[in-house]
Amino acid sequence: MFYEVDQYAQSFRYFSGEVRYSQIDWSNLDQIVDSYGQRIQDWYLGPAKELAKNWDFAFSVMALNCLLIDTLSQFVAGIESSRSDEFKEFIRNRLPSTYSCKLKTPIRHNDGRKDKKGKFKEELLKDVADALYHGFRCGILHQAHIPLYCGVAQEANPVREAPGHVKYKDSRTCCPSIIVNPLALLKDLEETFEAYLRDLKDRDPKNDQLRANFKEKFSSSFGVDVNIAT
């Protein structure tokens, strides 16, 4: 824990929309988990659900979805910052299987970086989790848009691999497209998050590591050591 919130700051610093640090019993794990749940509702899920009322804001909903997956993957794994492997593992292990199914045709992905010879560095995306990370998450975060092989649409399937709307410039062969319904993903994320909170409060020993990871990440992120909370 590099930063710590001092006692004075706890009296006026807000942890969630209406709750100050000083109003939380930092020795009570259930209260900490509930407060964390409210924080995520206030700053991620709530705004996303408001935006979702108007399809014109679907791209912004998708951006918040990616941010939410990013932060939850860090809490589940107990790591201090984002990692691609944990982002993908969260999708594969905690979201419905439709978000991690294998692609019928892998996608050649490059993020604009070139090697010393001036050739684009490529990665081969083999499942939807790969596409959600490299296409949607990294596209939005690093380039402020999604690559051409990604798309959002309001349709029945949460995720769909569409036939080529795009071609690889170097070979003129078709590149498949990954179409995501951001509203469906938001709903699934909310259900996944609620299940995660229940697991944290369930004292079954099988959840001990999950709780330890949560405490480690929480302490690092929010400046209050909660590792001894029970």
Please write the tens of the pLDDT for every residue from 157-192. Answer: 999 999 878 999 888 899 999 999 999 999 999 999
Q: Which domain holds residue 21?
A: 7-222
Provide the domain count of the chain: 1
Query: What band does 67 get if pLDDT is binned at 50, 70 and 90?
Result: very high
List the single range of 9-18, 56-65, 109-118 with lowest mean pLDDT.
109-118
- Flag whether 228 is in a domain: no
Classify residue 124: in a domain, yes or no. Answer: yes
Residue 154's SS3 state is coil
Contacts of 206 (CB under 8 A, 6+ apart): none
Q: Is residue 229 part of a domain?
A: no
Residue 112 lies in a domain: yes
Is 2 among the domain residues? no
Instruction: Give the pairing of strands 159-167 and 102-109.
Output: unpaired
